[in-house]
Amino acid sequence: MLVADVMAPYVNELFAHPGRLGLWSAWAAALGYTLQLYFDFSGYSDMAVGVALLIGLRFPQNFDSPYKAVNPSDFWRRWHMSLSAWLRDYLFIPLGGSRGSTLLTVRNLLITFVLAGLWHGAAWTFVVWGLLWGVFQSVHVVAKKYGLTPGWTWLNRLLTFAAAVLAWVFFRAASVRAALKILASMVGLRGVSGEETLGVAPLFAAFIVGGLVWVNLLPNTWQITPRPRLRYAVLLGVLLAASLLALSKRSPFLYVQF
């Protein structure tokens, strides 16, 4: 959560000026939001589970290191697991699921994810976001059927992460036009840097690099088993103190609107 809070001002500034982004700042905006949303929603999910335990309820895991996913289907088995299960059980399967031909499976995936986009909000950016994930899922289904999926785990993870970054640009942008400007900058169509291009703060760049290492190499909270050791007590105490100090600042959850 603290990481997401620190990154928020930089991400907001970059996305507020899509026409002033160069190659580096566009990638910083996209990767920054990708990580900001990850830490925000991961923390939100863990807090919901923890608060539920305090009152005697046991919530299921809702977040499972989604940026370690090896394909689009795997991503949605890890990201917002409760929503993914609902989409599967109440939209995809009633539409016919994958029981029919490949063409029908593709149709069902596209319908499911476009509706998932609309569930997030009545905006074209969400529709495009949902459509992109429907396309990603469909491409994977077809590639898997014909044995065209890469044989290297690292490449599958890289492609899946790139697909997520691309989709998050539309999810965060103020409009489809703004998202397209950012994507144009990400492929170098607006130059690398220049006098009219927004720069990337060193602290923000450091958080992006650190965040990428974190989400790819470290275990998620459900895989950690704390032991009664002094070092763990000190670490938890430091984290608690930092959290209490941060309470004085307004920091709404990104996902609260959904």
Phi/psi at 124 (nearest 5 deg)? -65, -30
Would residue 140 show up in a list of annotated catalytic residues for this protein?
no
DSSP state of 221: G
Closest CA to 254 of 45, 72, 31, 76: 45
DSSP state of 88: I
Among candidate residues 175, 95, 104, the one with its CA nearest the CA of residue 142? 104
Cβ density class 91-116: b for 16+ within 10 Å, e for less: bbeebeeeeeeeeebbbbbbbbbbbb
CA–CA distances in Å: residue 49 to residues 45, 55, 221: 6, 10, 11
Other CB atoms within 10 A of residue 85 CB: 14
Q: Are 60 and 82 in contact (CB under 8 A)?
A: yes
d(CA 46, CA 52): 10
Residues 81 and 150: their CA atoms lie apart, in Å, by 25
Active-site entry in 17, 80, 120, 140? 120
Q: Catalogue the active-site residues.
A: 120
